[in-house]
Amino acid sequence: MTTSTAAESSAAAPLIDLQVLVAAVRRRRRLWCSLALLGLLAGSAVAFLLPPPPTAVTKVLVAHEEDQPNDPGTLIRTDVALLQTTRIADKALGSLGSQEKAEDFMKDYSGLGLTNNVLQITVTGASDAEAVARARALADAFVADHVRRIQESAHAEAKALLDQRDQLKDQLAQVNKAIGDGSGESGPQSSADLESLYARRAELTSQITDFGQRAAEASIGTPRLVAGTQIVDSPQLVRRSLPRTAATDAGIGAFLGLFLGLAAAAVGAVVADRPVLRREIAAHLGASVIAELPHRPGGRWQRRRVRSARERLTTSLARAVRAAAEPVSLLELGCARNTCVIALDLARALAADGPPVVVVDGLPGPQLSRRRPKPGDPTVVGGESAAAASPQERRLGVGSVAPGTAWTDLQYLGTRTVLVVRAGHGSAAWLHTVARQLADQRIPVIGVVLIDPDPRDRTDGTLWDGLHTALRGQSERPARPKGTVPRRAERLPLWAARVPDSDQEAQ
């Protein structure tokens, strides 16, 4: 029954919970805010430390013989491609008298077709004068190359037409000779031959005239195209405002840093799988969240609210400890300092109207036992001195459930416990491990005190089927003789039965 229920719950759970993902990313706002700030500073530094080189721009009007109103820009794209050739680069470098390689020079300029007949050339240089000179030389080289190609094309077309005309003239001469030879003959056959020769001569004469006109038109059209190709905008320097450039680079850097930070936070949240919401932490630990405290109090008003929350928590825990006949412990996960403060407040409240209280320090570091006591503080002893406590004294244990915990020693700190967990500190698999180990030690969890909760968390951290351990429904259990180890019960509690049996199942 338990296996089927767990399978159904895991099947119903989404692969990625957007609410959990957003909460985890929001908690790591220091990361992506820091990366956004770093990108902002890096962009500003690039604008000042690596300013763009001097740049000159010129515009060339390019006339094409095949210009059409519906041209999609194929001709101007061809001109842009021809601009990025070593032939034009070599001519420009030759006019400048530079020994630079054409391949290197081609990296310093680019072309852009503004319209079907306007080409914009952008050139960079080591100085303003060099950039302007390069732009002028490159524009002149392109215009000269374009004019040369137009003239060569026109000359080739005219020559082909004239050659064809000369061939027709040779054929016309042969036809005229045949007509002269057949003029002296008579007869029906001679008359028919002469008639066909006259028709052929007329056809050849018309073709010769046509080819001559076409050759003339080809030659006449070339000056129009040559005159139409010219520099319409002299090379000018591109003026850049340093503050504007810095603002632009800073904005781009901030956007990239923010994007990388959000991506890193999202990927880290999915990979780490550290529960943040009350609902998740309560479900993984099998105990309800009974109180929340911030990790570090902020301003004055927040400190007042934190103080009120700590007082309410101390009152609730003191009431639960007085009603229990067995010792209670506070076990921390990722918040040892907060747990020490809660333990001291609770010990003072218990000692105010009851027997003396001894705080047993079971933390791995010298958090309590080696601290300098203040007036009115309860007695604090180490874990090795816990057995020497007087029977008339009330014992309050403080321990840890972080990785490396000696689980079998937790029952000597208290047979009931309150978990003090920092949100987003432990992984889901480790929370399952904590719940399973406490269940094996027969240590019921009274509740969970959540440290550093998400301020926008609106989920419910109450387990409504856990009345046997929650503060709102706990029942008195008979006290056990001191020094005896609790026996394993016949049946595991409901919340412990749902804990996975392995880390693989927890993941």
Three-state SS sequence of 260-326: HHHHHHHHHHHHHCCCCCHHHHHHHHCCCEEEEECCCCCCHHHHHHHHHHHHHHHHHHHHHHHHCCC
Hey, what amino acid is at 317? L
State yes or no: pLDDT of 498 exceeds 60: no
- Which range is least confidently modeled, 75-84, 211-220, 316-325, 476-485? 476-485
DSSP assignment letter at 402: S
User: Residue 387 — pLDDT band, cuts 50, 70, 90?
Assistant: low
State yes or no: pLDDT of 325 exceeds 50: yes
Nearest Cα to 61, choosing from 238, 223, 239, 234?
234
State yes or no: pLDDT of 369 exceeds 80: no
Question: pLDDT per residue over 400-423, tens digit each?
Answer: 998 888 888 888 888 889 999 998
Its sign, for the CA torsion 7, 12, 15, 20, is negative
CATH code, 275-506: 3.40.50
pLDDT of 301? 65
Q: What is the DSSP string of 224-267?
A: HHHHH-EEEEEEEE----HHHHHHHHHHHHHHHHHHHHHHHHHH
User: Residue 109 — pLDDT band, cuts 50, 70, 90?
Assistant: very high
CA-to-CA separations, 418 to 8, 94, 134, 345, 467, in angstroms, rounded: 30, 85, 78, 14, 15
End-to-end CA distance of the chain: 21
* 8 A C-beta contact, residue 162 and residue 213: no
CA-to-CA separations, 462 to 216, 279, 448, 481, in angstroms, rounded: 98, 7, 10, 33
CATH code, 55-239: 3.30.1890
Residues 6+ apart with CB under 8 A from 172: 201, 204, 205, 208
Segments making up each domain of the chain, as ranges: 18-51+244-271, 55-239, 275-506
Output the six-digit token pair for 22: 């957003």
- Which range is least confidently modeled, 53-67, 92-106, 389-403? 389-403
pTM of this structure: 0.59
pLDDT of 476? 43
Main-chain phi, psi angles of 204, to 5 degrees: -65, -40
State yes or no: pLDDT of 500 exceeds 80: no
- Express as a percent the part of the chain with pLDDT over 90: 22
d(CA 285, CA 431): 6
